[in-house]
Amino acid sequence: MKIIEGSGSFQIKGGIGHENDTITVFYHKPKNFTSKSKILMVIPGSGRNGDSYRDSWIKTSEKHCVLILSPAYAKKDYSYLGYHLGGVAKDRDIKDAFTFVKNSNQVIMDEEKAIFEYNDDARQWIYPDFDRIFNLVKKTIQSQQKKYDMFGHSAGGQILHRFVLMHPNSKADRILASNAGSYTLPDMETNYPCGIKNVNHLDLKKAFKKRLVLFLGELDNANENGGILLRSKTTDKQGLHRLARGKYFYHYGLKNSKDHKNKFNWTLKVIPNVGHNQRKMAKAAAVYLYKNDL
């Protein structure tokens, strides 16, 4: 595997349960890269378009000397359950549970048909892939970094907040979960994916210590028609649009941590005048993460 100056890609095998599948990692290595340069992993939305997500960060990569990595999980190998829900729910056909509303961005989920079977083998979840990619790249480029930052938009935002809940022992440092359409609450009374009642071996104390940033667009509200918005009876309890749901998730976690006297390192950041737009959110994220590096 080679990572040369500029933009490119490399491939790695999928994790346990996906050994015959391939993950393509798109990268950009800046001209002035050194062993001390920071590393940012960018998680794409439902389009799995790691190349264009990587491209949104090229200017930032060069300006702040940050290595960009964006893993693309092919839809044929990683379904909605395997990607958005991280493989925590076993893969099965639940297409009949979803109805797309014409002339809108909304998808209605029939909760009686959407049966999610919990996958107890955490090794088969996608979350360990991120440290695996980081470790491989670190060795290849002889990086001195011990941690990496993360940004994910839309489905990528779904993945990252679940990553924090399900896999808090990662080497990820600052984790910006941007404009997720729905959330898994740290709720012990509700089953996955809306809660964690049926998920074993979680450590919420460690999850609340992670530097998770709910990075939300102010205009990703009821008037936003971009992207896909999941609607269901249980999901709608979080709010009727992405901005409301992101705030709800943050405050739910804050209350949970206070109730159990846990340290809480999560942050809520609302970006003015931006809706469901990954490029504009990436631009704001670059300022948030690296403005003090100049």
Q: What's the pLDDT tens digit per position in 151-187?
A: 999 999 999 999 999 999 999 999 999 999 999 999 9
Going from the C-alpha of 229 to that of each of 101, 158, 178, the distances in angstroms are 10, 12, 14
CB 30 within 8 A of CB 37: yes
Q: Give the pLDDT confidence score for residue 172 in this predicted structure.
A: 98
Q: What is the mean pLDDT of residues 212-240?
A: 96
C-alpha–C-alpha distance, residues 135 and 261, integer Å: 34
Q: Provide the token pair at 62.
A: 């060069």
- The amino acid present at 176, given as its one-letter code, is L
Q: Give the pLDDT confidence score for residue 292 in this predicted structure.
A: 77
Q: What is the mean pLDDT of residues 67-75?
A: 98
**SS3 of the chain:** CCCCCEEEEEEEECCCCCCCCEEEEEEEECCCCCCCCEEEEEECCCCCCHHHHHHCCHHHHHHHCEEEEEEEECCCCCCCCCCCCCCCECCCCCHHHEEECCCCCEEEECCCCCCCCECCCHHHCCCHHHHHHHHHHHHHHCCCCCCEEEEEECHHHHHHHHHHHHCCCCCEEEEEEECCCCCCCCCCCCCCCCCCCCCCCCCHHHHHHCEEEEEEECCCCCCCCCCCEEECCCHHHHCCCHHHHHHHHHHHHHHHHHHCCCCCCCEEEEECCCCCCHHHHHHHHHHHHHHHHC
Residue 109 makes CB contacts below 8 A (sequence gap 6+) with 97, 98, 230, 231, 232, 235
In the predicted model, is pLDDT for residue 294 greater than 60? Answer: no
CATH of 6-291, one of 3.40.50.1820, 3.90.470.20, 3.90.1150.10, 3.90.1200.10: 3.40.50.1820
Question: HSE on the CB side for 294, CA within 13 Å?
Answer: 8
CB 154 within 8 A of CB 83: no
Residue-wise pLDDT tens digits, 50-61:
999 999 999 999
Predicted TM-score (pTM) of the model is 0.96
In the predicted model, is pLDDT for residue 131 greater than 80? Answer: yes
Q: Give the pLDDT confidence score for residue 242 in this predicted structure.
A: 98
CB 122 within 8 A of CB 163: no
Residue-wise pLDDT tens digits, 88-123:
999 888 989 999 999 899 999 999 999 899 999 999
Question: HSE on the CB side for 54, CA within 13 Å?
Answer: 22
CB 126 within 8 A of CB 73: yes
Q: What is the mean pLDDT of residues 180-196?
A: 96
The C-alpha angle 229, 235, 237, rounded to 5 degrees, equals 120
Residue-wise pLDDT tens digits, 22-51:
999 999 999 999 999 999 999 999 999 999
Q: Give the pLDDT confidence score for residue 293 in this predicted structure.
A: 67
C-alpha–C-alpha distance, residues 245 and 243, integer Å: 5
C-alpha–C-alpha distance, residues 66 and 294, integer Å: 12
Neighbours of 44 (CB within 10 A): 25
Residue-wise pLDDT tens digits, 251-287:
999 999 999 999 999 999 999 999 999 999 999 999 9
C-alpha–C-alpha distance, residues 257 and 277, integer Å: 31
Q: What is the mean pLDDT of residues 125-139?
A: 98
Mean pLDDT of the chain: 96
Q: Give the pLDDT confidence score for residue 214 in this predicted structure.
A: 98
| Cα-Cα end-to-end distance for the chain | 31
Matching residue, tokens 């994790």: 15
Peptide bond into 193 cis (omega under 30): yes
